[in-house]
């Protein structure tokens, strides 16, 4: 029949996107479409995650009471970031402006 178009050759079908919308088909990248299966289905790549401490135990370890809390505060006061950036408050910039700048009389830049 003159209206029939030839089908795509089997070697080129993996490059076409006509298979994407077909229901039930698993979509694979064309680069691995014809690769042989090396590993069984439940196999996963990468390495296993190491066991770690749970959040409850880590938070409980930081729950200091009494003198231990006071000693921890003394140690933390050594750091400038503890003073400038307290938890729950914004960063405090301590600028030392000249007296002229405090009143708004000082202008910056070159006048034109």
Q: Which residue has the higher pLDDT, 105 or 64?
A: 64
Measured CA to CA, the distance from residue 91 to residue 98 in angstroms comes to: 22
Measured CA to CA, the distance from residue 15 to residue 29 in angstroms comes to: 9
C-alpha dist (Å) from residue 68 to 50, 56, 64: 31, 20, 6
Angle at 94 between CA 88 and CA 98, to 5 degrees: 155
pTM for the whole thing? 0.29
Per-residue pLDDT of 88-97, as tens digits, reads: 888 777 788 7
Q: What is the mean pLDDT of residues 98-106?
A: 71
Sign of CA dihedral 70, 74, 76, 81: positive
H or E element, residue 100? helix 99-102
16 band by pLDDT with thresholds 50, 70 and 90? confident
């Amino acid at each position: 029949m003159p209206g029939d178009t030839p089908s795509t050759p089997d070697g080129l079908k993996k490059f076409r996107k006509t298979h994407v919308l077909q229901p039930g088909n698993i979509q694979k990248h064309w680069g691995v479409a014809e690769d042989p299966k090396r590993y069984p289905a439940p196999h996963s790549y990468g390495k296993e995650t190491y066991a770690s401490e749970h959040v409850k135990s880590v938070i409980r370890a930081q729950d200091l009471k009494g003198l231990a809390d006071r000693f921890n505060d003394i140690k933390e006061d050594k750091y400038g970031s503890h003073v400038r950036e307290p938890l729950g408050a914004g960063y405090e910039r301590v600028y030392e402006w000249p007296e002229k700048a405090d009143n708004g009389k000082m202008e910056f830049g070159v006048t034109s």
